[in-house]
Amino acid sequence: MLSERRLQVLRAIVQDYVGTEEPVGSKALTERHSLGVSPATVRNDMAALEDEGFIAQPHTSAGRIPTDKGYRLFVDKLAGVKPMTAPERRAIQNFLDGAVDLDDVVARTVRLLAQLTRQVAVVQYPSLTRSTVRHVELLSLAPARVMLVLITDTGRVEQRMVDCPAPFGEASLADLRARLNSRVAGRRFADVPQLVEDLPEGFDIEDRGTVTTVLSTLLETLVEENEERLMIGGTANLTRFGHDFPLTIRPVLEALEEQVVLLKLLGEAGDSGMTVRIGHENAYEGLNSTSVVSVGYGSGGEAVAKLGVVGPTRMDYPGTMGAVRAVARYVGQILAES
Amino acid sequence: MLSERRLQVLRAIVQDYVGTEEPVGSKALTERHSLGVSPATVRNDMAALEDEGFIAQPHTSAGRIPTDKGYRLFVDKLAGVKPMTAPERRAIQNFLDGAVDLDDVVARTVRLLAQLTRQVAVVQYPSLTRSTVRHVELLSLAPARVMLVLITDTGRVEQRMVDCPAPFGEASLADLRARLNSRVAGRRFADVPQLVEDLPEGFDIEDRGTVTTVLSTLLETLVEENEERLMIGGTANLTRFGHDFPLTIRPVLEALEEQVVLLKLLGEAGDSGMTVRIGHENAYEGLNSTSVVSVGYGSGGEAVAKLGVVGPTRMDYPGTMGAVRAVARYVGQILAES
DNA sequence: GCTGGCACTCGGATGTGAAGAGTGCCAGGT
DNA sequence: ACCTGGCACTCTTCACATCCGAGTGCCAGC
């Protein structure tokens, strides 16, 4: 087990390295942090920390930098979450309050997170399947053409065109709309498939084909893979990554463009509470030199989606976690109001 | 006026520089292009071209690279648009045909453009004001809460919440819906403000406030600044920019995140035909070392929005222009079908 | 007006040396 | 048992000098 002081040394190393972006040596450490011991002692501690794999030397005769394992220990044991200051909280609230619709909420959230953390922000749209149906609308655009509009309690709106196998009258449409809504309104989207299973049975034989088509389009929209959307922002912050970044930035940008990768990334994170994935803890190779801080957000107690940031492993974890948590909280409030 | 051969020399310089990314010298030119003259002659021509400002030397004793003015001449006079090959056309069509809704069309278009050109792609959503109203839907979500949904002929759907000053009955809602649609359906969004101007007058006094509120929300949605949306992609291609790119890539990423900047950029481009803005021709400073190739697209003859790519001034103009034009054409077709 | 020849320039690569930061280890003190 | 000062050692970094070659501009000759 590591002594208390060694943990302090590790904490100091992480803090200094995050601040300066340069390997930190024993002398500098004793000067900047009042550890009460001499550089030589710190050197011994550092040697021990290196043996345990918490820190490493880029080259002999350079200072130490934390390893992924070192950051992990730092996050788990040595640092808390830095709460936002009151002015920051007010700024967050003000910024988010002006949104006119869900797209706007998400867009503002992304900008906000990117600005607060000075990193790349990722915000997932509220998942359909985890939301509740507010209303399902059917619009007749042409005799055999229906537009299906799904509206969730979080303000998300999804629409699909449906080409019907046969013309579908206004009356039938109104009928379907009414029956559909009476079954699903207020229920969770995840339950919709079962709720509408036997719906076609109540219709005339000539309309049944169309009803089935509409319903299958509805179900397709709810399929996991299709229904997840997200927005990213703050990619310009990647340029602060490091001096070597041609090689670092490329795969990160590629990962960010692959929504599938990002969704998986967020999906892997724990469902409740904040998740921090450091460096190689991320399954996707391109993100091996980044850390991902994510948290679920939702209008009620339950998370309907996640948001987070992607940044270099050398990041200000307490500050980042504080910002992510605060933003998630306010976004949840906004959604609950709308 | 420049002699025919000098123009050929310029063309060769542009082509070689685009290919190799390195300044091109007189000897290499004569070897790779059969100009029929010796390096010494080419040197004279190059000196002349440099005097005229079409090419420049990074340092004495390096080859020449084209200036913005040189590229301009190249694009205007020396190169055409390289048409897509048949397999490429098929690939474009196949890729775009699978889209399920407008978001999907735009997303696929962005990916496609980015892949074809290996540059950053920007696609504007069909402008509301330049589209035609297909349908306006009003949904009652709560006694004093209405959701307004606008549907365009290009498949774009925009929704807004409206908090009504007074409860609004289903009957009144249906009435408003019917009157509204009979006035605006099939008309251009740009004309909507005039078309609905006197609409509140036909309603009972107690409903008039709500009608006015709904209409003003509708009009707000059409305000230029709010209604434009766009999607970008292929930012990972920025890493191919050059060797010095910390400084180059930063402002470009920042510009790309500022939708306002991008919209202005696309807006400045000519309304019909393809526009190429080279280097300093772009008003926005951060894009001074990039070129923007853009073109309008639309379902009919008229452009409803623009799309294009942003890349280094050193880009393959004929190929890029060909790809941009082809994609715009197919997107137009897809929109016309939906 | 084109060409070969030639001197010149300058950037990039390579090499050397000194400086500096940081380490590891050891012997001695508390 | 642990901390400390001292010291030799390692390696990176930077400055400076050198060399090489690509490319140029110019000129005399065809």
A214/A182 Cα distance (integer angstroms): 16
Take residue B274 and report the two structure tokens written for it: 């393809």
Tokens standing for residue A75: 């996050």
Distance CA B67, CA A238 (A): 29
Percent of chain A with pLDDT over 70: 97
SS percent in chain A: helix, strand, coil, step 5: 55, 20, 30
Positions of chain C reached by protein Cβ under 7 A? 2-5, 8-11, 20-26
CB pairs under 8 A between A and B: 76
**Tokens found for residue B273:** 């035909």
**Averaged pLDDT, A303-322:** 96
pLDDT, position A242? 67
Q: Judge: A239–B233 Cβ closer than 8 Å, yes or no.
A: no
Token readout for B197 is 């101007």
What are the start-end ranges of the E strands in A143-263? 145-152, 157-163, 230-233
User: Measuring CA to CA, which residue among B137, B151, B62, B65 is closest to residue B102?
Assistant: B151
Using an 8 Å CB-CB cutoff, list chain A residues near B153.
none
- What pLDDT, on the 0 to 100 scale, is given for residue B325? 96
Confidence of residue A246 (pLDDT cuts 50, 70, 90): low
- How many angstroms is C1' of C28 away from CA of A13? 29
Report the DSSP beta bridge partners of residue B135.
Answer: B151
Q: Which of A171, A168, A238 is nearest to A208 (CA)?
A: A168
| Contact at CB, B235 and A253, closer than 8 angstroms | yes
Could you list the beta-strand ranges (E) of chain B: 55-56, 65-66, 120-124, 133-142, 145-152, 157-163, 230-233, 274-278, 290-297, 305-312
Q: Taking 80 as the threshold, does the pLDDT of residue A71 lie above it?
A: yes
**How confident is the model over A180-197, as a mean pLDDT?**
94
Whole-structure pTM value: 0.92
Angle, alpha carbons B232-A242-A324 (nearest 5°): 65
A36: nt with nearest C1' to CA: D3
Residue A57: CB less than 7 A from any atom in strand C: yes
Question: Mind listing the pLDDT tens digit for each residue in A31-56?
Answer: 999 888 999 999 999 999 999 999 99
Tell me what the mean pLDDT of segment A189-205 comes to.
Answer: 91
pLDDT at A150: 92
Residues of A in contact with B139 (CB under 8 A): 135, 137, 151
CA distances from B73 to A6, B67, B227, B276, B325 (A): 66, 10, 36, 12, 20
Average pLDDT, 10 consecutive residues per value, chain B (338 residues): 88 95 93 90 95 93 94 95 96 92 93 96 94 91 88 90 90 93 94 92 89 94 84 92 70 91 88 90 92 91 91 96 96 87
Average pLDDT in the A286-307 region? 90
CB-contacts to strand D (7 A): A 5, 36-41, 44, 59-62; B 23-28, 39-40, 43, 46-47, 50, 57, 60-64
Query: For position B206, what pLDDT does the model report?
Result: 87
Residue-level pLDDT at B226: 72
> Where do we find the tokens 């004309």?
B191
C-alpha closest to that of B93 among B295, B333, B263 = B333
Does A160 lie at the interface with B, CB-CB under 8 angstroms?
Answer: yes
The alpha carbon of A202 is separated from its chain's Cα centroid by a whole number of angstroms, namely 42
Task: Find residue A123's DSSP bridge partners.
Answer: A231, A307
Q: What is the DSSP letter of B238?
A: G
- The whole-number Å distance from B17's CA to D25's C1' is 22
Q: Are A234 and A115 in contact (CB under 8 A)?
A: yes
